[in-house]
């Protein structure tokens, strides 16, 4: 049996044209398309397309290697733009690639559901002030009051985390970061009031008497938290995103191109 592949492309003319060209080349080289049992997953689009693909292929991530091309400005998940298509394919066929493993956050809403995220996990309550007791490795840390909290990976540090004043974490540092979303601070309600960067081995627990009205966000997905009282979050040791990288692009060049 031949090597199997699958493709997810953003629904625009540039991305769909690249997908068509890629399919012709892969099949001419003896590769077989199999969306259910692929060895390689090609992603054509932007960072949002990459995140969508990770969740779409979640139960195959252990078996798949992902490889992406960006149709637009260069993103954090890919090394190539659409104008680099020829080099992109030549490097793939030559096997001139390195595998990089990206961690996933495991999110356990006790007694209700389990989710995963590659960028961030967040709780937001648009209806009322949300009270959250925060525990780090089983030790009580603080009580937060406000709209919500966010926990992100290194990759996610440049996304929603950055927009609420969180620190950007350099590539290669396997850390996680917790930041407040519109915290309330006065004489009788005070939390850290600053982002905190933590080791990747920590287990974070968010507890509340009531999360009614609050929403749990895992990357782009959102779920109601009515009835929940405890959420545990940590880096998953059993699930990783296996990403193929070719061209060496400076992390700071990526930052400068986007921000």
Assess contact for 4 and 32: CB atoms under 8 A: yes
Cite the active site residues: 47
Determine the pLDDT at residue 74: 57
Are 151 and 198 in contact by the 8 Å Cβ rule? The answer is no
Predicted TM-score (pTM) above 0.85 = yes
In this structure, what token pair is assigned to residue 247?
A: 């061209």
Q: What is the pLDDT of residue 1?
A: 56
Q: Count CA atoms within 13 Å of residue 247 on its CB side.
A: 21
Token pair of 92 as six digits:
């793939």
Helix/strand/coil for 50: helix
Q: Exposure of 44 by Cβ count < 10 A (0-12 exposed, 13-18 middle, 19+ buried)?
A: buried
- pLDDT tens track, the chain, 259 positions: 579 999 999 999 999 999 999 999 999 999 999 999 999 999 999 888 999 999 999 988 889 999 999 997 657 788 888 999 999 999 999 988 889 889 899 999 998 999 999 999 999 999 999 999 999 999 999 999 999 999 999 999 999 999 999 999 998 898 999 999 999 888 777 788 899 999 999 999 999 999 999 999 999 899 999 999 999 999 998 888 999 988 777 778 777 777 6
- Residue ranges of domains in the chain, CATH in brackets: 4-96 (3.40.50.10330), 104-238 (2.60.200.30)
Question: 143-147 long-range CB contacts below 8 Å, 24 or more apart?
Answer: 143/189, 143/191, 144/180, 144/183, 144/191, 145/183, 145/184, 145/189, 145/191, 146/180, 146/181, 146/182, 146/183, 146/184, 146/191, 147/181, 147/182, 147/183
Closest CA to 200 of 72, 63, 105: 105
Which residue shows structure tokens 């059993």? 238
Residue 133 is predicted with a pLDDT of: 97
Q: If you write DSSP's letter for every residue of 189-237 in order, what string do you get?
A: B----S-EEEETT-EEEEE-S--TT-EEEETTEEEE-TT--EEEEEEEE
């Amino acid at each position: 049996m031949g090597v199997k592949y699958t493709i997810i492309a953003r629904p625009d003319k540039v991305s769909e044209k690249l997908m068509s060209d890629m399919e012709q080349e892969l099949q001419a080289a003896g590769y077989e398309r199999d969306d259910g049992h692929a060895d390689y997953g090609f992603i054509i689009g932007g960072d949002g397309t990459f995140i969508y693909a990770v969740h779409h292929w979640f139960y195959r991530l252990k078996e798949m290697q992902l490889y992406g091309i960006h149709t637009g400005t260069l993103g954090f998940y890919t090394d190539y733009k659409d104008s680099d298509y020829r080099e992109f394919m030549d490097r793939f066929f030559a096997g001139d690639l390195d595998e990089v493993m990206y961690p996933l956050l495991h999110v356990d809403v006790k007694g209700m559901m389990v989710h995963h995220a590659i960028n961030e996990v967040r709780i937001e309550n648009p209806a009322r002030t949300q009270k959250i007791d925060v525990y780090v490795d089983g030790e009580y840390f603080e009580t937060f009051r406000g709209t919500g909290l966010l926990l992100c990976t290194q990759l996610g540090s440049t996304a929603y985390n950055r927009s609420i004043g969180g620190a950007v974490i350099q590539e290669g540092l396997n850390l996680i970061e917790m930041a407040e979303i519109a915290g309330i601070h006065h004489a009788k309600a005070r939390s850290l009031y600053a982002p905190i960067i933590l080791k990747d081995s920590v287990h974070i627990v968010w507890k509340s008497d009531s999360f009614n009205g609050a929403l749990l966000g895992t990357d782009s997905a959102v779920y109601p938290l009515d009835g929940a009282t405890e959420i545990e979050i940590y880096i998953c040791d059993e699930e990783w995103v296996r990403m193929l990288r070719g061209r060496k692009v400076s992390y700071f060049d990526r930052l400068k191109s986007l921000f």
